């Protein structure tokens, strides 16, 4: 790539690594979630809904995804009895997704598996470096939000 400054080059390298690791994390998430009948996408939606009933649009905003992709996942979760649609007092047209007991059980199972997995992975990395990475990724996310980084 021509015209990149040293920081621009480092940022470009970071992007490649983030894309690579994202794919690896999604595959690992699928493996962790499979015994509970979930995928990474379903696990992510359940994780957002676990904080309280929420609309598909709110889940999409929280996860940085399109409403359509979340709608497809939510519809599958409803069909499988892991979430239910309940009335939304704020908007009759946008019903709320709410965890069912089966959904909560599946989510707790995956959270237990993820906890064991995360502890094992983290044991190979310095805690201070992990905290630094979190800070850098948060800063990058803030820059890339629609109000920034354009």
Chain segment 74-86, per-residue pLDDT in tens = 999 999 999 999 9
Residue 149 has pLDDT above 50, yes or no: no
In the block, residue with structure tokens 């992510």: 44
> Which domains does the chain show, CATH number per domain?
27-118 (1.10.10.10)
pLDDT in tens, 11-23: 999 999 999 999 9
Tally of CA atoms within 13 A in the half-sphere of 140 that contains its CB? 11
Residue environment code for 98-114, b if the CB has 16+ CB neighbours within 10 A, otherwise e: ebeeebeebbebbeebb
pLDDT digits (tens, 9 = 90+) for 119-133: 999 999 999 999 999
What Å distances lie between residue 34 and 27, 80, 118, CA to CA?
10, 14, 17
Is the pTM for the entire model greater than 0.75?
yes
pLDDT at 113 over 90: yes
Average of pLDDT values for 107-118? 97
């Amino acid at each position: 790539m021509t015209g990149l400054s040293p920081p621009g080059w480092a940022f470009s390298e970071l992007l490649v690594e983030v894309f690579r690791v994202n794919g690896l994390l999604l595959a690992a998430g699928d493996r962790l979630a499979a015994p509970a009948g979930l995928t990474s996408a379903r696990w992510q939606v359940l994780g957002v809904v676990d904080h309280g009933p929420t609309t598909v649009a709110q889940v999409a905003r929280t996860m940085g995804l399109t409403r359509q992709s979340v709608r497809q996942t939510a519809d599958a979760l409803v069909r499988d009895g892991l979430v239910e649609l309940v009335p939304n007092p704020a908007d009759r047209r946008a019903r709320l997704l709410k965890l069912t007991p089966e959904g909560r059980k599946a989510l707790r199972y995956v959270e237990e598996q993820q906890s064991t997995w995360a502890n094992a992975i983290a044991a190979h990395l310095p805690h201070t470096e992990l905290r630094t990475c979190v800070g850098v990724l948060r800063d990058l996310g803030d820059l890339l939000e629609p109000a920034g980084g354009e």
